[in-house]
A and B are shown apart, each in its own frame.
Chain A
């Protein structure tokens, strides 16, 4: 129970943080986010099937996902230059999601055919180590999750690159006028963000059951976490990820113990309710709440 809450919260916090970063940089919610993450899960499976330690896959997943995310940024950037509207860009991310999903299925089929392995509903728990009676993925996911927020904090506040990135987020045209190479900064940012997305996807099957269609469920959780965070503050999104992960895991535990285990497949209704309630009660999310408190 504790393990599940921790791992789910860590992964979700990381994905919400990266989703919000992407949203802030180009102003478009990337609906392919979860599917991009889970490409790394299949890279991890392939590495494991080749008999290599799954943790060695982390840098490979980081790089693979970085390049994928960078390519998506380039595509979205091209579409923006073509004067495609915000809605057009959102639909483009859905189209990208579908293409990646299909390619992931092809890769899963290929692995199943060549390496004679189960590539649907698999976990890599057997490949994980244990330390102090707890699975290794708890430590690794916590290090990545907390390390990423600290890393992003330093990057955004203490480096020239981070300051340029914030300037672009605040005012794209002004930043360009001031001589910031916006295309290069945003491209590098998406490359880096892609790396963290890949890390979260690579550790996911170390605890949870993995399917090519897992992205469809995960995107709802990411959206819930980001909406709860407020979509305007990366730190709030990170907190939102933690909260949604915790609320879902605890919620499903208590609801199932109250009304029975038949409710377990409906667990996605919990993050969907978070979206509904947040938009209804405080659409600015945690970020808006922090702003209000600050002004008091």
Chain B
């Protein structure tokens, strides 16, 4: 019995790990590679949650329960019990899951576009302010709009992993891992391509990038759209893995602060660093949650406040003393005209930077 509990715990941590990995990779694409300070990342994650709340349930209801005249929101339990035989079928659940996943990506991308349009031309502080405001606005809509997820009460959604049967726990984790791995490969390929180098050039010096004929605003917009789409996939998977949408689970702390902390710990502009950072931070968080009862008798306050205080202090310490994170960004290596690597050039560059300081 205890072994079963331990396995469940491991799979639970892994599920969160994969979801956080997706969201933080999208933040890394925004900020680590392109220098876009997306402080309102939860905007896109909420977008994924909204799609999870609205799309699969209503779509399945329209496909299989047309004549029943039920409302997915208000007759939630009844609809789910009627849909139960359908979600058990692989050929039904998987297409609905994939369709919803794609639409979540597209919805997140369009949210990124809406959010970026007024502020993409402006300075990074204006962009950050705009993104935070948009994030809060969408959070309010998600919290209070009954037609989305019955307000703060939340709703249950069809369990699109139910077809896995006895292998539900392990299978769900494997699917989340596959999706996270696929997104990791896409983002990594993107970042290591000429496009990725262009993003770094924009991050380092926008004016220079513009001077060599690059449309900086268009590229920043593209990055924001792509990253937001991936973050929305994270939001969708969060809801799908629990087969429920709870607006309270999509907070600024969870889906903006934690990814920023992971980014800072792992190292900006390095996807492998993000992988390690996510693993490290989530393991620490889970350990902290599990050992709360140990601290509780020694603390003069409610132990739930320990986590945000420690998180805040850790973030400040990393920003102050280790801004490059565990794995710093790799310097680009290329061959010079005479076949040698560019180490000497890089050394000169580093020395120049030090002199500048």
Contacts and interface: CB of A to CB of B under 8 A. Distances in A.
Interface of A: 27-29, 31, 75, 78-79, 82-88, 90-92, 94-96, 98-99, 101-103, 105-106, 109-110, 216-217, 219-220, 223-224, 227, 231, 265-266, 268-269, 271-273, 275-277, 279-280, 283
B260 interface: yes
A79 B308 contact: no
B144 A91 contact: no
A92 B316 contact: yes
A216 B315 contact: no
A195 to B, nearest CB: 24
A38 to B, nearest CB: 16
Given A95-B311, A99-B313, A103-B309, 19 more contacts: A29-B125, A82-B321, A85-B323, A87-B31, A87-B37, A92-B316, A94-B256, A102-B312, A103-B305, A217-B136, A219-B132, A220-B132, A220-B136, A265-B140, A266-B140, A266-B141, A272-B137, A272-B140, A276-B118
A280 B357 CA distance: 37
Q: Which range holds the interface residue count of chain B? A: 35 or more
Contacts of B126: 227, 231, 279, 283
Nearest to A85: B323
B309 A99 contact: yes
Contacts of B302: 105-106, 109
B161 interface: no
Interface in B297-324: 301-302, 305, 308-309, 311-313, 315-316, 319-321, 323
Nearest to B35: A87
Closest 4 CB pairs of A and B: A272-B137, A280-B118, A99-B312, A279-B118
Contacts of B309: 98-99, 102-103
Contacts of B31: 87
B92 interface: no
Contact of A91 (B141, B253, B308, B315): B315
B54 interface: no
B252 interface: yes
Interface in B90-140: 117-119, 121-122, 124-126, 128-130, 132-134, 136-137, 140
Contacts of A86: 124-125
A82 B320 contact: yes
Interface of B: 31, 35, 37, 39, 117-119, 121-122, 124-126, 128-130, 132-134, 136-137, 140-141, 143-145, 252-253, 256-257, 260, 264, 301-302, 305, 308-309, 311-313, 315-316, 319-321, 323, 357
A101 B308 contact: yes
Contact of B129 (A91, A217, A223, A269): A223
28 contacts: A27-B125, A29-B129, A31-B132, A79-B319, A83-B357, A86-B125, A87-B128, A91-B264, A94-B256, A94-B260, A95-B315, A96-B312, A98-B309, A99-B313, A102-B308, A103-B305, A103-B309, A105-B302, A220-B133, A224-B133, A227-B129, A265-B140, A266-B140, A269-B140, A276-B133, A279-B118, A280-B117, A283-B122
Contacts of B320: 78-79, 82, 84
A78 B317 CA distance: 12
A110 B125 CA distance: 37
A255 to B, nearest CB: 14
B26 to A, nearest CB: 16
Contacts of A219: 132, 136
A143 to B, nearest CB: 30
A269 B315 CA distance: 30
B319 A268 contact: no
A153 B277 CA distance: 48
Contact of A28 (B39, B125, B143, B264): B125
Given A94-B257, A95-B316, A106-B301, A87 B140 contact: no
Residue among B37, B129, B144 having the largest count of chain A Cβ atoms under 10 Å: B129
A90 B133 contact: no
Nearest to A267: B140
A99 B308 CA distance: 7
Contacts of B117: 280
A88 B124 CA distance: 12
Nearest to B253: A98
A90 B39 contact: yes
